[in-house]
């Protein structure tokens, strides 16, 4: 399986960039994970048609992770009526906030399913499980397993036991890294580069990708802080790059 980075900024994009969105692909399936602003056009440049998507997973309902869903719903709903889109796409998301969850739908764009911590999704040999993170709205980190390989996405969270648990022994850990340690405050609901490095070390992560980057930061400074606490393979999750798992 592989993951393609559609956007890596948060909570707003750098010039020419996009917010959180990731395309998970295996031999037989394509699953979109989050759909922040700027990601839809990039997705279409890769897959050609939304008919190719098997499912969409929204880790949580903050705008920088879902804003292009509000545009995609029109592409799906209108083109279903025209006959160029032939299906409604399963969309899994937490029902929090409730009013945002309801607004995701347009015509029959999606088959909506509430995402919960005990949810288990299977697509062929792919198994996806979820863990509640620590964030102001209900937010799930996710683990994808296929043929002995493990991909983990932290989504947005501050430091908590849950993020340590899901990262454990991952082949690829895509982790939010929204802060430098000098800027971290007690009620910040995001991880610093120092914390990400410590999590990756303790969890024996094989490869670490940093995402959800504050657009004003110097990338090298983020990487250097992470590397001071993690001696393994670490990169910024580069937009439009694909990573094999």
Question: For the segment 221-239, what is each residue's pLDDT rounded down to a tens digit?
Answer: 999 999 999 999 999 999 9
pLDDT in tens, 138-147: 999 999 999 9
DSSP-derived secondary structure letter, 49: -
Domain with 145, as residue range(s), is: 2-244
d(CA 217, CA 37): 19
User: Is residue 94 predicted with pLDDT exceeding 90?
Assistant: yes
CATH of the domain at 12: 3.60.15.10
pTM of the complete model: 0.97
- pLDDT for 188 equals 86
Count of structural domains, the chain: 1
**Three-state DSSP class for 240?**
coil
Torsion, Cα 139 58 169 123, to 10 degrees, reads: 140
Residue with tokens 């998507």: 53
């Amino acid at each position: 399986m592989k993951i393609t980075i559609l956007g890596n900024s948060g909570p707003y994009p750098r010039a020419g960039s996009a917010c959180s969105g990731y395309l998970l692909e295996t031999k037989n399936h394509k699953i979109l994970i989050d759909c922040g602003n700027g990601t839809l056009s990039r997705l279409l440049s890769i897959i050609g048609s939304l008919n190719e998507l098997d499912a969409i997973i929204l880790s949580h309902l903050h705008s920088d992770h879902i804003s292009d869903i509000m545009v995609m719903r029109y592409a799906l709903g209108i083109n279903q009526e025209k006959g160029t889109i032939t299906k409604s796409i399963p969309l899994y998301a937490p029902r929090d906030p409730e009013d945002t969850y309801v607004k995701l739908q347009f015509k029959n764009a999606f088959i909506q399913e509430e995402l919960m911590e005990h949810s288990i999704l299977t697509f062929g040999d792919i198994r996806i499980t979820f863990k509640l993170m620590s964030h102001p709205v209900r937010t799930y980190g996710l683990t994808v397993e296929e043929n002995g390989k493990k991909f983990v996405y932290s989504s947005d969270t501050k430091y908590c036991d849950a993020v340590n648990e899901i990262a454990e022994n991952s082949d690829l850990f895509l982790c939010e890294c929204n802060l430098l340690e000098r800027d971290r405050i007690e009620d910040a609901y995001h991880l610093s580069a120092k914390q990400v490095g410590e999590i990756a070390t303790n969890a024996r992560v094989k490869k670490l990708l940093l995402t959800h980057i504050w657009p004003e930061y110097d990338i090298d400074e983020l990487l250097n802080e992470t590397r001071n606490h993690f001696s393994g393979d670490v990169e910024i999750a580069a937009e439009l790059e694909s990573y094999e798992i």
